[in-house]
Structure 1
Amino acid sequence: MSDRQQTLAKVLEMIAPFNKKGVDVGEATRFAQDLEWDSLTVLDFVANIEDEFDVIISMNMQAEIETVGQLVDALGKLKA
Structure 2
Amino acid sequence: MNTQAMMEGLSSLPPDAQQQVADFIEFLKTRYQKNKPEKKKVARTPLSQEAFIGMWRERQDMQDSSQWVRELRRKEWG
Same fold (TM over 0.5): no
More RCO (CA 8 Å, sep 6+): 1
Q: Which has the larger radius of gyration?
A: 2
TM-score by length of 2: 0.30
TM-score by length of 1: 0.29
